[in-house]
Chains A and B, each alone.
Chain A
Amino acid sequence: MSEDTRPVLSATGISKFFPGAIALDSVDLTLYPGEVHALLGENGAGKSTLIKCLTGAYRRDAGSIQLDGEEISPTSTQESQVHGIGTVYQEVNLLPNLSVAENLFLGRQPLRFGFVSQRRMQREARRILGGYGLRIHPAEPLSTFSVAVQQVVAIARAVELSGKVLILDEPTASLDRDEVEMLFKVIRQLKERGLAIVFITHFLDQVFEICDRATVLRNGRVVGTRELAHSSQTDVVHLMLGRQLESRVQDRAPQTAGKTLLEFKGIGRKGMLEPFDLAIREGEVVGLAGLLGSGRTETANLIFGAVPADQGEAWLRDQKIALTSPRDAIRHRFGLCPEDRKTDGIVGDLSVRENIILALQARQGWFRPLNKAKVNELAEAYVKALDIRLASLDMPIRFLSGGNQQKALLARWLATNPDFLILDEPTRGIDVGAHAEIIALIEGLREKGMALLVASSELEELVAYSTRVVVLRDRRQVCELHGEDISTRNIVAAIAQGHLEEVA
């Protein structure tokens, strides 16, 4: 990163306006060859918008971009690909109906006599994915694979496309440690080849592990650029939030759980989840830990009735209940914040307000609309309580940044005042500030006597709020950790144990 190397890409004065919001206000970004550059900022700071402007997915309203000293102005992502800028956008952006190989090579398929050669394409795909430790059949449609695999394919595609710059927008949000390691290995190789890499994430550990410099955005403006070797986490966090993050007391939650609320006996579904028993008491947070694909999401969906169980029974306050649909569950005052907020969570074109009251209204029934004043009061209260950043309650929720969407979804369920709340990856894509708030929120809810089931891939977080952790492996419960036993190390051990067995 010596001062005299010429930047690969330098953007100056990039601005982007949305109706009612200034997403980017004269942002500068400079990338040098062979550097990994972190782009940091709170939810809604404008990170995704910035890279969309850089790559031509959005038309920028002002500013100029220079690539290798030459002015470029990509008007489509295709154009930026031609310039050698490969990008992974925030939500997985691949085509589920095409095969893995076709996704990898879309737009630059190997040709033979002018025709696409499927055979060569698949051979190449196998080779490329092998480099990420992924051994799959590349002719299968992408939709048959889990989100994690899709994410890796998206990364592989972007890497293949990037001759000069690689941009990764929260690529690790749905990856496990091992995959993250694999990704970092690839990034280091690319760095050696002299590529400039933009890395967006909310995991500061990862930032300090892999990145050289960081540019921090706040409210659409650059508030600073730092050499990471010479700065600390607190410094960066301070820059991001504009305030200090109170260090939280790491007291273990006292064991004051109430009486048993729910009991599942031998509940399961063939081909999806092995039968398991689980009891949850009031004022208890049960954490679900496991590797990708271990069945955490399945457990959550099964308990919520989103995918009905085909065996076992459920008891609520010693009464047997039927859980065949989300509606049943909601009637019994359950709530579920799903993992994939884009497809299962938000209702994109409805306003933020309507999204917040949706579940409450659905429970109230078709013919008893919530009155307007109450709706506004509720929505405003939650926007304030969760610090959701928005231009207006009337704006469609899909215009919110990813993290703010997540908070709005939390608000939806809190508004129903549930007895039992299931959170599937509640902090995915959420910034450090909000992360702390959500953890505090979970503890607050528990103290009020709510029962929670939280699935998460972030072990530190699980350790922080769980009163009990259930470890899953291969869609089966393998062990349960209580009280003092709950620690990152023990969870990792419990997960890994299964791994060793499997290999043996």
Chain B
Amino acid sequence: MIRSTHLPLVVTILTFLAAFVLCSGQYPAMMSTRVVANLLTDNAFLGIVAVGMTFVILSGGIDLSVGSVIAFTGVFLAVILRDTSIHPLAAFALVLAMTIAFGAAMGAIIHYLDMPAFIVTLAGMFLARGLAYVLSTDSVPITHEFYDVLQSLYWKAPGGGRFRLTGMVMLATFIIGMVVAHRTRFGQNVYALGGGAQTARLMGVPLASTTIGIYALSGGLAGLAGIVFSLYTSAGYSLATVGVELDAIAAVVIGGTLLSGGSGFVAGTFFGILIMGLIQTYIVFDGTLSSWWTKIVIGGLLFAFILLQKGLTWATTARRKPLIDFAAP
């Protein structure tokens, strides 16, 4: 039986499948391992931050800093690998520690100073991008052989699609994210926070550690996404991934998570990512849209998805029958 709470997830999955079939009908080349592999590879970093964003949004917050944190991570890695002889793995650990601390600091400010997440993470966004500029304004290539090794880890499927390591990292992140969200106390606390912070507090949810944990998680995943992005481009660039936070938020919302918090699924976000990737692939396959029409069409499709979701949710809640509660005494 499909539980009513699972409906948005089902809707998202069905929407994706329907859209994919429709697109393939128009451009048969889309039904290839290449396109599927590209969807995974090209959206790997976005998917990873979107997992973190899902947690943040589930808790009723928002994290605008992720795009800048990705850029910062990339620049930091590039600069440190250029200027020192540190091994990339050590650099990864270092940068992850930094981004986790950065996220935790934002979470602490949000909780202890009682400030809205929107504003705190907006300042975080300025700060992270600013620090990236200070490190280097130029784009810095990464030429470490370990990077070549990581990049050469892929499986070439029949049909030419390359399933790369980064795509697998994204899948793993999603699976771990799902387990954490639904099968751990931390995950339950995240949902509780999203259901109402005051109530959650009265029910004994540790607000401070949960809030800090959520933003630390988001920061850490942004750091991981930064590492993936640096593998993806073999470079660090301070102007990279501008506005990625909005893409991530859009993916989360399309995936059926409510921005007001408390309701949604990590798995939904995965399909949200795929849907967004599909939209872009479709636009490129079409190849006739001018710059401005590209923007308008993306906006329009975003609207269409929101509307579809709204309609389905409305249709199902309107029919919801009250459940009979008390047994005769």
Would A106 and B325 count as touching, CB distance under 8 A? no
- Number of A-B pairs, beta carbon distance below 8 Å: 114
Q: With a CB–CB cut-off of 8 A, which chain B residues contact A114?
A: 184
* Interface residues in A280-308 (C-beta closer than 8 Å to B): 292-293
A137 to B322, CA, bound (A): 12
Task: Determine whether B204 belongs to the interface, using a CB cutoff of 8 Å to chain A.
Answer: yes
Distance in Å: Cβ of B318 to nearest Cβ of chain A: 9
Would B325 and A78 count as touching, CB distance under 8 A? no
Task: Determine whether A139 belongs to the interface, using a CB cutoff of 8 Å to chain B.
Answer: yes
Would B192 and A115 count as touching, CB distance under 8 A? no
Distance in Å: Cβ of B327 to nearest Cβ of chain A: 5
Would A115 and B325 count as touching, CB distance under 8 A? no
Distance in Å: Cβ of A93 to nearest Cβ of chain B: 5
Contact partner of A293 (CB less than 8 A), chosen from B199, B321, B325, B329, is B325
A137 to B5, CA, bound (A): 14
Q: With a CB–CB cut-off of 8 A, which chain B residues contact A69?
A: none
Q: With a CB–CB cut-off of 8 A, which chain B residues contact A479?
A: none
CB-CB under 8 A for A116 and B184, given A134-B325, A139-B3: yes
Would B325 and A141 count as touching, CB distance under 8 A? no
Would A94 and B327 count as touching, CB distance under 8 A? no
Which residue from chain B places its CB closest to the CB of A79 in the assembled complex? B204
CB-CB under 8 A for A106 and B204, given A93-B199, A95-B262, A115-B184: yes
Contact partner of B201 (CB less than 8 A), chosen from A77, A98, A140, is A77
Distance in Å: Cβ of A158 to nearest Cβ of chain B: 10
Q: With a CB–CB cut-off of 8 A, which chain A residues contact B189?
A: 106-107
A78, A149, A502, most chain B CB atoms within 10 A:
A78
**CB 8 Å contact bits of A93-104 with B (1 = contact, 0 = none):** 111111100110
Distance in Å: Cβ of A122 to nearest Cβ of chain B: 12
CB-CB under 8 A for A178 and B263, given A57-B201, A95-B195, A102-B188: no
Task: Determine whether B289 belongs to the interface, using a CB cutoff of 8 Å to chain A.
Answer: no
CB-CB under 8 A for A98 and B321, given A93-B199, A115-B183: no
Distance in Å: Cβ of B159 to nearest Cβ of chain A: 38
Which residue from chain A places its CB closest to the CB of B321 in the assembled complex? A271
Kindly state the interface size class of chain A when it binds its partner: 35 or more
CB-CB under 8 A for A57 and B202, given A95-B262, A141-B5, A182-B329: yes
Which residue from chain B places its CB closest to the CB of A88 in the assembled complex? B202
Would A78 and B327 count as touching, CB distance under 8 A? no
Task: Determine whether B4 belongs to the interface, using a CB cutoff of 8 Å to chain A.
Answer: yes
A118 to B179, CA, bound (A): 12
A179 to B328, CA, bound (A): 11
A271 to B262, CA, bound (A): 27
Task: Determine whether B200 belongs to the interface, using a CB cutoff of 8 Å to chain A.
Answer: yes
Q: List 5 A-B contacts (CB under 8 A).
A: A57-B201, A93-B203, A107-B204, A111-B185, A149-B325
Binding site for B on A (CB under 8 A): 57, 76-78, 81, 87, 89, 93-99, 102-103, 106-107, 109, 111, 114-116, 118, 133-137, 139-141, 144-146, 148-149, 157, 161, 178-179, 181-182, 271, 292-293, 499, 502-503
Known: A78-B204, A106-B205, A135-B326. 18 other contacts (CB 8 A): A57-B201, A76-B206, A77-B204, A89-B202, A94-B203, A95-B203, A97-B195, A97-B263, A98-B195, A109-B188, A111-B185, A115-B179, A133-B326, A133-B329, A144-B320, A145-B323, A146-B325, A178-B326
